Homo-oligomer: A and B are copies of this chain.
Amino acid sequence: SIDGDRLWDSLMEMAKIGKTAKDGVCRLALTDLDRESRDLFIKWCEAEGCSIRVDQMGNIFARREGKNPDLPPVVIGSHLDSQPTGGKYDGVYGVLSGLEVIRTLNEAKYETEAPIEVVSWTNEEGSRFAPAMVSSGVFAKVFDLEYGHGRADVDGKTMGEELKRIGYLGPDEPTIDAHPMGAYFEAHIEQGPILEDEGKDIGIVTDAQGQRWYEIKFTGVEAHAGPTPMKTRKDALLGAARVVDLVNKIGLDRSPLACATVGMMQIHPNSRNVIPGEVSFTVDFRHPDDAVLSDMDKALREGVEKIAKDIGLESELDNIFYYAPIPFDASCVDAVRKGAELGGFSAREIVSGAGHDACYLAQVCPTAMIFIPCVDGISHNEIEEVHKHWSDAGGQVLLTAVLAKADE
């Protein structure tokens, strides 16, 4: 059995790095705080006798050897970076429950057949550097290294530069080819309300939704808010506002499965008495059915074109990120289901609404995920909360599932 208190203490210890006023976490990818969390994770892993490997995307692998060195490792992981106003569990729970599996095996002096590795992936959130899950994407060969290093934040700083700056530009080739895996497991908070609403402690994740991310820019004409007649205006913010409403409608019309969000907007020149001349914003679409996702894409493109035409704006629309819905590996999902049964936890099958590193890993090795509930389904928020018995349950199911695969 895992030690739930030890896992919880580690979560709370890690949450001190980048702690915010409202008891959340701000630990954006590749900042100094991200470096601190990496250093602490490595310190803990080394204390457990693990060997450490850092690759060219800054992904960190901590390895516990198995009886049979020829077997590819069973890998457990997630990410340590957070949203600007993020919580204590998103990502961190998956990394530290992996560490807890190793601590438990060490304490029990249990030797697995295959080696076990815990991985922390770089820049999962996609908040400082878009898109999300860049480094597990490079690992799964969805992106190449150049693309990964080239992702830039709003100040133009790239992931390559920032990896170097914080000392985590490792030497290792960052792809599955260099590091085959026997299986990949990721434990994570649900980030939605379903498990808690139904009183389940464990979500057996069968699939992940597809996603499309967009960047849209409207260009109108900056002019004085006072003497510029309404009829001659080309107000870029008016266009953006109408797209926000449209995006909401696109999501609602395909509810409950669809999600559609404008999360980010930059207004230029952003002055009270100037009609905005340029507005850039993002759109995030999700759906478990790829055909519906395409239909949402079509509705957005048509709507943006019409709105721009009505107001007399120029528009640019860029679909910067797409992945199709992904089913997880049947045998890994089964290992999770058995783990829940064995532990006597209430569980249900569930589709992931969020993207996870596991979604990319699923394209190159047998993968599954374990969800635990979070209070009110809220995450990407400083008030993100988890009850300790959920954390205990997830760690225990993870241990059972990993052992089933490592000793197969």
Contact = CB atoms under 8 A, between A and B. Distances in A.
Contact of A273 (B231, B232, B255, B263): B263
A191 B258 contact: no
A127 B273 contact: yes
Interface string A273-290: 111110000101010000
Which residue of A258, A260, A262, A276 has the most chain B CB atoms within 10 A of its CB atom? A262
Interface stretch (A93-101, A163-171, A332-340, A372-380): A372-380
A237 B225 contact: no
A227 B353 contact: yes
Interface string A249-269: 001100110111111110111
A244 to B, nearest CB: 4
A261 B275 CA distance: 7
A234 to B, nearest CB: 11
B241 A380 contact: no
Interface string A189-205: 01111000000000000
A261 B241 CA distance: 13
Contact of A230 (B228, B251, B273): B251
Contacts of A271: 83-84, 125, 127, 263-264, 380
B191 A224 contact: yes
Contacts of A69: none
Interface string A367-408: 000000000011111000000000000000000000000000
Identical chains bound together, number: 2
A221 interface: yes
Contacts of A268: 85
Interface residues of A, number: 71
A4 interface: no
A377 B273 contact: no
B232 A241 contact: no
A235 interface: yes
A226 interface: yes
A95 to B, nearest CB: 18
A277 to B, nearest CB: 7
Contact of A352 (B227, B238, B267): B227
A331 B30 CA distance: 67
Nearest to A225: B261
A261 B227 CA distance: 11
A218 to B, nearest CB: 12
Contact of A224 (B223, B264, B380): B380
Which residue of A127, A190, A270, A277 has the most chain B CB atoms within 10 A of its CB atom? A270
A306 interface: no
A245 interface: yes
A240 interface: yes
Interface of A: 83-85, 125-127, 130, 132, 190-193, 209, 211, 213, 221-232, 235, 237-238, 240-242, 244-245, 248, 251-252, 255-256, 258-265, 267-277, 282, 284, 286, 352-355, 377-381
